[in-house]
Amino acid sequence: MKIRRCCTRPALLVLAVCVISGQSAESVDLSAEMAVEMAMKNNYSIKALEHQQKQAEYDIKSAKTGFLPSVNLSGSYSRTGLDFEIPAAFSAMMPPGMGLDQNSFNYAIQIQQPIFTGFALLNGLNSAKLSSAITEKSAETAKQKIRYAVLQVYWGIVSLQKSASVTSEAIKQLEELTSNQEARMEQGMSTEHDYLLTKASLAQARMNELKVNKSVSSMKRQFAILLGLPATTEINLIDTSAEGNVLPDVNLDSAVSSALSERPDLNETRLKMNLTELGIKSAKSAFYPSLVAAFSYSNESPELDEKERWRYSWRASAALSFNLLDWGNRNFKLKKAKEQQLALKEVLQEKTATVEKEVLDAYHEVEQLQSETEAAELLMEAREKAYNASLAKYEEGVIPMYELLDAHNSLISAKYAALQTATSLKLAIINMDMGGLGSSSSFGAQ
């Protein structure tokens, strides 16, 4: 019994260590840059895109096999009963062994090599390569959008956490006011109405705190999923300052030109244009003849009279085929391919104009938010001074309680607005650096 106790205690200690280690493993400290790197490695959508890229690579390898000869092996076996008699006259007309061999089997091997297919194989290979490049650009677009989404959620959480701090500060101020009002009311220096006003404001502030904390928890769960982590992972943010954003020196014409040449979603559409050109070539290949060379060798079961002798044969051939009449089917397919190219040309023009618009919008949004941030900071300072002045006047009995509470609410609202504009400016600068891709409503041209 003593031995059992001695064994149990170390086991419990090991279990406790494992539990503590498991709990610590659920917490992670991240900067904005670290969060982006983690998302690029672990995000579920990015992993799915990597598998799609591998699929495209296999399509290229599959298209290359069309240039190589194909080898087919076939065989058969049959067993025939001999419990019947064949008339002598009919038996004499049959080839030796036919109908008399109870076991019959044969095998054959055939090799085919395409010589000319109207460039269909070459167009198929080029099409697979272009499709792979399109998949790569699509993945690049998705990664950029996920990067922006990660930063958007990251700085959104930072803003909400600071809003929670503002709310906590407001609760402390209102708790102090409520206590003072209760004491003044007991001394007959204040009315019950003023006390109820401050108490209602305190209850509203506490409700706001619950809402903000709930939003922070929800966004952190969303953030964890975006990073490819379990939703219950506790994430601690290292970067906690979105203020001090300065617009870098940007030449607007250069920014537009750079976006038009480098935006992956626009390059994806250009590659799709090239793919439609290959579609036209593939449709034209149906107008050419096709030539295939073949070689076959077959071997059958031995003859009945000579068991050691097998019947074998070989054949070399070349087959040329050309479709003389298909009732316009080839023409219809060719016209369809040309219409697809024209349709995508219109899409490309629209996409080009949209990218230019998004760059200009991103640039002007940064300018606007810079002004709004400066104005929000000035307003917050003014509201803070106004609240302090109102508090002094209230203590002197110059103004009623509701005016003091109005000044307090205005101060809290100004602090919220300053946090929001600072975060919006941070994201707008990031979007500007991405050529407006972060605010793009489309996920690549279809």
In a domain, 304, yes or no: no
91 in a structural domain? no
pLDDT reading at 305 higher than 70: no
Coil, helix or strand for 102? Answer: coil
Examine residue 74 and state whether it is found in any structural domain, yes or no: no
What's the average model confidence in pLDDT over 414-442? Answer: 89
Domain assignment present for 308:
no
Lowest mean pLDDT among 108-122, 217-231, 233-247: 233-247
Query: Is residue 97 included in any domain, yes or no?
Result: no
Say whether pLDDT at 249 is over 80.
no
DSSP secondary structure code for residue 69 in this structure: P
Alpha helices in 43-101 (DSSP H): 44-64, 88-93
Is residue 76 in some structural domain? no
pLDDT top residue among 278 and 306: 278
How many whole angstroms from its chain centre is CA 20?
34
Q: Tell whether the model's pLDDT for residue 310 goes beyond 70.
A: no
- Of the listed ranges 96-100, 285-289, 316-320, the least confidently predicted one is 96-100
Query: Residue 422 sits in a domain of what CATH number?
Result: 1.20.1600.10
Sorting pLDDT into bands at 50, 70 and 90, what band is 88?
Answer: low
Contact by Cβ (8 Å): 196, 174: no
pLDDT digits (tens, 9 = 90+) for 24-68: 447 899 999 999 999 999 999 999 999 999 999 999 999 999 999
Q: Residue 127 pLDDT > 90, yes or no? A: yes
Q: What is the pTM of this model?
A: 0.79
Domain with 124 in it? 30-69+118-288+329-439
369-405 pLDDT, tens digit each: 999 999 999 999 999 999 999 999 988 888 999 999 9
Closest CA to 183 of 395, 370, 1, 371: 395
Structural domain count of the chain: 1
Write down the pLDDT at residue 99: 47
Residue 186 tokens, joined: 């007991």
Q: What's the whole-number mean pLDDT along residues 225-243?
A: 88
What is the rounded CA–CA span in Å between residue 444 and residue 144? 12
* CA distances to 4, 46, 134, 289, 350 from 263, in Å: 69, 18, 13, 42, 14
Question: What are the DSSP calls for 310-379, one per residue?
Answer: -EEEEEEEEEEE-----TTHHHHHHHHHHHHHHHHHHHHHHHHHHHHHHHHHHHHHHHHHHHHHHHHHHH
* 279 inside domain: yes
Q: Residues 273-278: what's their mean pLDDT?
A: 95
**Model pLDDT, residue 79:** 73
Nearest-angstrom CA–CA distance, 432 and 140: 17
In a domain, 46, yes or no: yes
Kindly state the percentage of the chain with pLDDT values over 70. 84
